[in-house]
Amino acid sequence: MAGCTISPLAFTMAMEVIIRASKWVVGGERLQSGQRLPPIRAYMDDMTTLTSTIACTKHLLGKLQANITWARMKFKPSKSRSISIVKGKLVDQRFYIKDTPIPLVSELPVKSLGRWYNASLKDSDQCDQLREETIKGLVSIDKTLLPGKLKLWCLQFGLLPRLMWPLTVYEIPMTKVEKLERTVSSYIKKWLGLPRCLSNIGLYGHGALELPVSSLTEEYKCTKVRLNMTLTESQDGMIQAAAPRLATGRKWMPSEAVQQAKSALRHGDIVGQVQHGRGGFGLGASRPTWHKATSTQRRKLVVSQVRHQEEADRCAKAVSQSKQGQWTSWENLEHRKLTWKDLWEMEGRQISFIIRATYDVLPTPKNLHQWFGEDPSCALCQTPATLRHILTGCKTSLSQGRYTWRHNQVLRQLAITLEGRRTTNNALPPQCLDTQRPPLL
């Protein structure tokens, strides 16, 4: 049956028969809204039971055991776990399957659908474990003998995707994620040869220079927003009514972000299609409107709006930075986006120079004066040697031809080669021309 597309459907249909034949014996947990949860929930061969009393749990386990035995299958108590909560406190109530005890969660923690459950019933332990795994992965990548850009590729496509699921299922506050991003950013700066003073806007922003690196904070926000819309706008009424409130701390909440994104999208529908640039009407890229979009398209629109808001916050922060945010005041700024193909064709020092030159963190005399108190004057004209002065504004270098020296040297070599070829061709004897006409037919 390996590779068969019908076998999962057949297995799901068989399990559905067992679940429907067992769940009617007891009632599920009743929520404050009046909604009653089903006593049995299953995903393939993983089954979860939730009841309100000990007697109901024993009765439900007995009925499940009878139906599973009738289907010629059996439970494995060693792989199962039980947890009992009475008035908000964990109690050691043990359940049995055919006189075989089911281990308690307090004895053996269990992992279900990528989420660990232990006796503490809190996600604080998982936050610390996630941080340890992240640091361990960064150290493992850093110890390799790969160049910096390949280490960055391993981070983007190897480590970050593994962090997304724990960030989705666990209740991790925003401050913890920002602290984790600062650790990731320190390794990125180390691999690309960037100074520690460089702001994270230079790594994750899409302003003057865009790098193919994802922000952990931005991906965390998009993941939580996507999960919030999946639960609150589910087509299943029971899931929609029992959708929990996602706890992400007091600094940022997914529900508020979703409402703000929806308001911005509805306002965009009222404004209509806005034309940018000199192109005529209708030449811009169109996007689906909010009132006509499907549920999947609405989810994508909200996520894109959250990304747009995150980029707007970065730009607002860059405006307040007098040195690294100078690009916000440049006129006719041409946005440059570096792809992975561009990084493969560049050397490590070239990548570092481009980023440091864009955000003015190169060791110019002016910056060295600010950092270490050295002489800020130019060695040629004795004026303050800023980055702009060194690259394009030194009058002495302009008069001496220093800015065009490299270009002129290339042209000089080309001229020497072409002149040699011309001299060689002119020294050759002239070719004899055949003056006889062909005979007429």
24-35 pLDDT tens trace? 888 878 877 777
| Residue 335: alpha-carbon gap to chain centroid | 21
Which residues lie closer than 8 Å to 132 by C-beta, 6 or more apart? none
For the CA atoms of 371, 375, 378, 381, what is the dihedral angle to 10 degrees? Answer: 150
To the nearest whole number, what is the mean pLDDT of the chain? 87
Cβ-defined contacts of 282-291 (< 8 Å, 24+): 290/262, 290/265, 290/266, 291/266
The whole-number average pLDDT for the span 70-76 is: 86
Q: Where in the chain are the domains?
A: 7-117, 124-270+292-319, 363-410
Question: Does residue 385 contact residue 378 with C-beta atoms inside 8 Å?
Answer: yes
String of DSSP letters for 62-109: HHHHHHHHHTT----GGG--B-EEETTEEE----EETTEEPPBTTTS-
Task: Select from 102, 87, 93 the least CA-distant residue to 48.
Answer: 102
Identity at 338, one-letter amino acid code: L
Highest-confidence segment of 48-52, 122-126, 340-344, 346-350: 340-344
* Tokens describing residue 263: 């308001």
Task: Select from 130, 152, 105, 54 the least CA-distant residue to 348.
Answer: 152
Question: What's the CA gap between 130 and 81, in Å, rounded?
Answer: 23
Q: Report the number of secondary-structure helices (H) and strands (E) in the chain.
A: 17, 10
Question: What's the CA gap between 402 and 69, in Å, rounded?
Answer: 88
Weakest mean pLDDT among 5-19, 289-303, 407-421: 5-19
Return the DSSP state at 393.
I
Question: What's the CA gap between 208 and 349, in Å, rounded?
Answer: 19
R_g of the chain, CA atoms, integer Å: 33
pLDDT class for 1, splitting at 50, 70, 90?
very low
329-381 pLDDT tens trace? 888 888 899 999 999 998 889 999 999 999 989 998 888 888 888 888 888 88
Does pLDDT of 439 surpass 80? no
Task: Select from 126, 150, 117 the least CA-distant residue to 348.
Answer: 150
pLDDT class for 437, splitting at 50, 70, 90?
low
131-170 pLDDT tens trace? 999 999 999 999 999 999 999 999 999 999 999 999 998 9
Does pLDDT of 432 surpass 70? no
221-232 pLDDT tens trace? 999 999 999 998
Which residues lie closer than 8 Å to 46 by C-beta, 6 or more apart? 112, 113
Task: Select from 149, 183, 197 the least CA-distant residue to 362.
Answer: 197
For the CA atoms of 103, 106, 110, 116, what is the dihedral angle to 10 degrees? Answer: 170
Give whole-number Cα distances, 228 to 32, 76, 121, 176, 239, in Å. Answer: 20, 34, 22, 20, 12
Task: Select from 210, 216, 34 the least CA-distant residue to 138.
Answer: 216
